[in-house]
Structure 1
């Protein structure tokens, strides 16, 4: 049996500027500039999706990368394209406020309202929250990594431990907490988006008061974290009733690929991008499917997937089969399901290997139905790695790949294997139950 070992320690105190990329604040990589386009709640229209495909083809490398926040990244861009990119994103309605661009990090339950009645319309919360963020000058002080999470009650988004979490209840209320903690405030659902903004402002106030440089709630020492009682008083002063409450965590699961039957004879399609990356051809097939048979909308998930809502149930299986034929992951039994990788070589100078190529080679020869998620990283930064549950950590080293199973605060004793033995070692780790 593999022994449990402590996982890496908490993030160190922040000492530099927040260099998180945005839509017009580009990051320079070895394969060109990178832009990150925020999609609050993962929501976009097929027209906006078509605009992203054109941008990738005309300015980028012909691909779109999905992030663990449900955002989109364009790679291989010219260094001087920021102005043109910003103008075209504004025209598509994807950049409502350049000043607020990087703080529009909002994750929401992707299947809300699609697989049955919902406790609240969290997509409506998303739109209102985004409007409030973009009209608030104070909120621009948040880092580009601060996350708002809107959970419809199933527990999928709460499991990500967002910095400010809203969870819908069945009685017209919402539970507001920091980092999805058990202790929370019970507030009217109608005021949920405004309360989330006030909670973020309270975090900024407390950070200034203590002199902290933290970007996220989890980076604050326990004694410096915002107190719910004081936040409750602030909400009440703003006309929002708030009372202390406790919540029982629900084991919310990530959105799985496949058919999602719903009410009214409608079915949604859920697919995953192989290793989090889509060609523009695959992306176009998705938004054309949304236009031809769905509602004309897409929902990008925090698990590097896409949901196409509202197809007629008798038409949905054939549409899903067409997406599978295009190379998208359409079944939870696929070895590619819940498998991810960072950019690796040649795009990242810090990477020790072409991790995407090595991961693809492993998965092409793997059996289906493997239970544990797996993530390949080219260096110790592990950009984009899973943040919840158990997962297999495959890290490139100078001597091959280091493999361990991570689970919260612990990891198994790692083993290092040469690239030639990687596929078998990863398959064994993914099927480890202890």
Structure 2
């Protein structure tokens, strides 16, 4: 049964205000609200859609939401789902970015320091969990380690891209994927001609934006955030090293401000990609503020949505092939290495200045992995711990 964009917006606004815990938790919230309670689709179709979005680059939960909105109410429904799920956390992080310069004194400075430290715990948890899921054998563990070694000698965006590409090639050479029949069809109305056109736009922007970036500051912002969004495989946390390479190493944002915002992003509901709104608001020189936040936010989400629409008509045939599965296994293993390298630099080296900082980071990691504490609670407690460390001197 078809719905309308207003219904979709209301459903996803509720999810945008209450969906804490990261992409995997978001998918659970979506299933409970839209499959179990509202019955927009059945479990089989939902699992098929999730499999598609996990295979693609981009923010998995936002891609699933975009597709669910499209299935329910067409293109208007897709955009309604995106806006409603994204705006709450984006507005909170924008407000934090605008207020951060006014935060001072031992309490404010300590809280910001605690946010940098909690980023260590959260990224370490992501590496730990992803390594267990994506590197369960010696071959894929070796790919992850090779990615770390490569980035030790070739840090930055090109090194990350090379690590993922070489990981994919290694996965294909190892040939551990198995062909299997598909289980259902993702029923989203996109023709093959439209899909091909959208894929052309996706790759054209990836090639042309770097060539046009020098013509205006706004295009430079769009270029860097679009490239980061286009190369994210394996989960939202992987955007951290990509954004660091684009805006921190590019001299637009300081390490301290970057990590403080990343820590704050863990305490809000909704997609982690809204971290881009915070970064866009504090860019130097500019555009920044509300304009920079809007440009960064749209640019980082756009490639994931373009590639999603572009592969929909071809997905059932492609995902059943052994070669495709082998490529993605190798690429995902390399992604673990990319995130592991980022855990050391810039996350650990920029946040941990001594044994007290390390103890607070370790306590946060244990709370997340062993205590199963919600990320927002660990963020709040780490900010309080940072204040305590500052007062102790």
Asked whether the two chains share a fold, i.e. TM above 0.5, the reply is no
Q: Which has the higher strand share?
A: 1
Q: Which has the higher helix share?
A: 2
TM-score range, shorter chain: under 0.3
Instruction: Point out which structure has higher relative CO (alpha carbons under 8 A, 6+ apart).
Output: 2
